[in-house]
Amino acid sequence: MTNGIEKQLTRRQRERLAHMNEVLEAAEECFLQKGYRDATIEDIARKADFAVGSIYTFYKNKEELLCHVVLRIANKQIDDFNECVMPLLENPIAALEALTKVWCEHAIKYGDFLRMSYAVRHVDSIGTMTKPSEAKLSPLNKEIREAFSEFRTKELSVFEKAIEKKLTCDLSADELSIVFEGVAHNYMIKCMLRKIEPTVKSATADLLKIYKTLFLRNKCDGF
What is the predicted pLDDT for the residue at 112?
Answer: 76
Question: Which CATH number is 165's domain given?
Answer: 1.10.357.10
Whether residue 52 sits in one domain with residue 137: no
Asked if residue 65 belongs to a domain, the reply is: no
pTM of the predicted protein model: 0.81
Whether residue 81 sits in one domain with residue 54: no
Whether residue 139 sits in one domain with residue 84: yes
Question: What range defines the domain where residue 10 resides?
Answer: 1-59
* Cβ atoms of residues 93 and 167 within 8 Å: yes
Q: Among 59, 87, 104, give the residue marking a domain's end.
A: 59
Task: State the average pLDDT for the chain.
Answer: 86
What is the predicted pLDDT for the residue at 135?
Answer: 46
Total tally of structural domains belonging to the chain: 2
Whether residue 128 sits in one domain with residue 85: yes
**What Cα–Cα distance (Å) separates residue 135 from each residue in 74, 114, 121?**
20, 19, 9
Q: What 3-state DSSP class applies to 123?
A: strand
Question: Which CATH number is 42's domain given?
Answer: 1.10.10.60
pLDDT tens figures, 123-158: 554 444 444 444 455 788 888 889 989 999 999 999
Whether residue 52 sits in one domain with residue 81: no
